[in-house]
Structure 1
């Protein structure tokens, strides 16, 4: 796909500045938290993993800026990337099902896999991306239903907690899908 002239405009530059500024601010949060509480204890590996995640996330947002000048498309990518980073980091830090070392948390690899593979199958086109992230939301809900039905993570993760947290992620994936759908409509009428 060719880079559109609009993407090099001020709007694209602002988008990139916001993304990279947010990544830098997020990287500083644990460092600041370590100064005020003993609850946050990060080592070099934690910072390296989080930094790598933020670089990949920022790179994906950069790619979105180059692919489309649509605000809806960029917002959809931003929400999907934020949801993916939050899903990965939450699983690494505390786990969504039971503790962080509970093997049930590996199910979320399937959620991310559906989104990533779906994006490539869609060739990053908005209509296909809408379908990919609708499927991602569905898989997120299925993981929650399976976890609750199988009693996974109990008693450290009660069923309502598992359902609530997964519902939040499913809503984020759905919001991304709806914004991709809107971007597809804009593209149709443009």
Structure 2
């Protein structure tokens, strides 16, 4: 029985750390906006980036919980992070020229 409680506690701790990291990442442009005009985010930008980071964090957490092989965990996590970076680049500068392009 103690193993189950420890496992749940660890999962909660990982989720807390994940959301803490997401909050920290979102604080970077919020603080930068106070010191420079180069960073010009609005509420929509924070919502979109927050959503992307939450989806990415939860997907990685799901992979961590369900995939037992370390090799496959790393591969799938790498693909998830690559998808995040490509989506971010597309939204920021229009890397692929879709209608979602930022500029």
Q: Same fold (TM over 0.5)?
A: yes
Per the alignment, residue 85 of structure 1 pairs with 84
Q: What RMSD over aligned residues (CA atoms) do the two structures have, in Å?
A: 2.7
Q: Which has the larger radius of gyration?
A: 1
Q: Is the 8 A contact 1:12 1:69 kept in 2?
A: no
Instruction: Establish whether residue 105 from structure 1 lines up as the match of residue 97 from structure 2.
Output: yes
Using the alignment, how far apart are the partners of 2:62 and 2:18 within structure 1? 12
Q: CA deviation at 1:41?
A: 0.7
Whose RCO is larger (CA < 8 A, sep 6+)? 1
Q: Which runs of 5+ in 2 are unaligned?
A: 99-103
Q: Which runs of 5+ in 1 are unaligned?
A: 97-103, 107-190
CA distance in 1: counterparts of 2:66 and 2:88, whole angstroms: 27
After TM superposition, give the deviation of residue 26 of structure 1 in Å: 1.5
**Equivalent residues in 2 for 1:61-140 (5 A)?**
61-96=60-95, 104-106=96-98
Structure-2 change in CA distance of 1:10 and 1:79 (3 Å): farther
Deviation at 1:35, TM superposition (A): 1.7
Structure 2 CA distance for aligned equivalents of residues 38 and 63 of structure 1:
38
For normalisation by structure 1, the TM-score amounts to: 0.41
For residues 47 and 94 of structure 1, what CA distance do their matches in structure 2 show?
Answer: 16
Decide whether aligned partners of structure 1 residues 59 and 53 sit closer, same or farther in structure 2, where only a CA change above 3 A counts: same
User: For residues 47 and 83 of structure 1, do their structure 2 counterparts lie closer, same or farther at Cα, with a shift above 3 Å needed?
Assistant: same
Alpha-carbon distance in 2 for matches of 1:86, 1:55: 14
- Matched with 2:101 is none
TM-score relative to the length of structure 2: 0.69
Deviations 1:117-176 (A, max 9, x none): xxxxxxxxxxxxxxxxxxxxxxxxxxxxxxxxxxxxxxxxxxxxxxxxxxxxxxxxxxxx
Paired residue total:
93
Tell me, in whole angstroms, the C-alpha distance in 1 between the residues paired with 2:77 and 2:32.
Answer: 25
After superposition, give the CA deviation of every residue in 1:60-94 in whole Å (9 maximum; x if it has no partner).
11211221233333332332222111111111111
SS, match of residue 69 in structure 1: coil
CA distance in 2 between counterparts of 1:15 and 1:72 reads: 20
